[in-house]
Amino acid sequence: MLEISDLQAFYGESHVLHGVNIDVRQGEVVTLLGRNGAGKTTTMRSIMGIVGRRTGSIRFQGQELIGMAQHRIPRLGIGYVPEERGIFASLSVDENLMLPPVVKDGGMTVQQIYELFPNLQGRGSTQGTRLSGGEQQMLAIARILRTGADLILLDEPTEGLAPVIIEQIGVAVRKLKQRGFTILLVEQNFRFAATIADRHYVMEEGHVVDMIPNDQLAANMEKLHEYLGV
């Protein structure tokens, strides 16, 4: 579904990605693991066309994204939930859910969103700023699900959240996988990643240095600790 090959990315003169190769198949949950600054967020931003310059190839359902106008990329059905979440803090939950443009048929209804994230149910008139960090993260994911995107890029959805909320986000991601969504996820928390992902790519200094299938994660734990410095 998504094939990234020899991706190089630059912020001005700064060369950040040095030939990244990643494949994500339809229906998979795949994580990008790696230390701070490894290039995980830049990889996601490259997919969305929001880095200064990128070369190489990023193909989504056979279509080349490099060279494509930035505004066309979400319309292909790719949704991005950035680390900073990107909800409208001054608007209510319902307003946040009504605003995203439907880019493709098949976006989830508000009712389906509430079934996926029961914490948001009954909070429709609550202002974004009054939500907890976990509820804001759920709302950020929900907004993207409204658009009809079927490839979802999640940048550190668990960052700063309590274990019980991380567990709820894990439940939601597993339900999304069951519904057929494809998910690429940046994670620092590999214990969480292990509960939801099919495969893990490990990044270091702008390269992919390893790919570990989830069922081989336990056998690779020592190596992973070294990669992540934990």
What span, in angstroms and rounded, lies between the C-alpha atoms of 182 and 78? 10
> Is residue 111 within the footprint of ligand ATP (CB under 6 A)?
no
Q: Give the interface segment with ligand ATP, choosing from 11-19, 54-62, 70-78, 109-117 (CB under 6 A).
A: 11-19
3-state SS, residue 176: helix
> Is residue 213 within the footprint of ligand ATP (CB under 6 A)?
no
Q: Walk across the sheet containing 207-213 and list its strands.
A: 78-81, 151-155, 182-186, 29-34, 199-204, 207-213
Based on CB atoms, which residue is closest to ligand ATP, 116 or 203? 203
> Is residue 137 within the footprint of ligand ATP (CB under 6 A)?
no
Based on CB atoms, which residue is closest to ligand ATP, 31 or 147? 31
CB of 165 to ligand ATP, least distance (A): 19
Token pair belonging to 104: 């493709």
> Is residue 16 within the footprint of ligand ATP (CB under 6 A)?
yes
What span, in angstroms and rounded, lies between the C-alpha atoms of 35 and 30? 17
Based on CB atoms, which residue is closest to ligand ATP, 34 or 157? 34
H-helix segments, the chain: 40-48, 72-75, 93-98, 110-116, 133-146, 163-178, 190-196, 221-228
> Is residue 49 within the footprint of ligand ATP (CB under 6 A)?
no
According to CB under 6 A, which one of 11, 61, 163, 221 is a site residue for ligand ATP?
Answer: 11
> Is residue 196 within the footprint of ligand ATP (CB under 6 A)?
no
According to CB under 6 A, which one of 5, 15, 37, 122 is a site residue for ligand ATP?
Answer: 37
> Is residue 42 within the footprint of ligand ATP (CB under 6 A)?
yes
The residue among 20, 26, 63, 62 whose CA lies nearest residue 45 is 20
Helix, strand, coil content of the chain in percent (nearest 5): 35, 30, 35
Q: How far is CA 52 from CA 39, 73, 94, 177, in A?
A: 14, 16, 34, 32
> Is residue 38 within the footprint of ligand ATP (CB under 6 A)?
yes
According to CB under 6 A, which one of 39, 100, 148, 157 is a site residue for ligand ATP?
Answer: 39
Residues that bind ligand ATP (CB under 6 A): 11, 14, 16, 34, 36-42
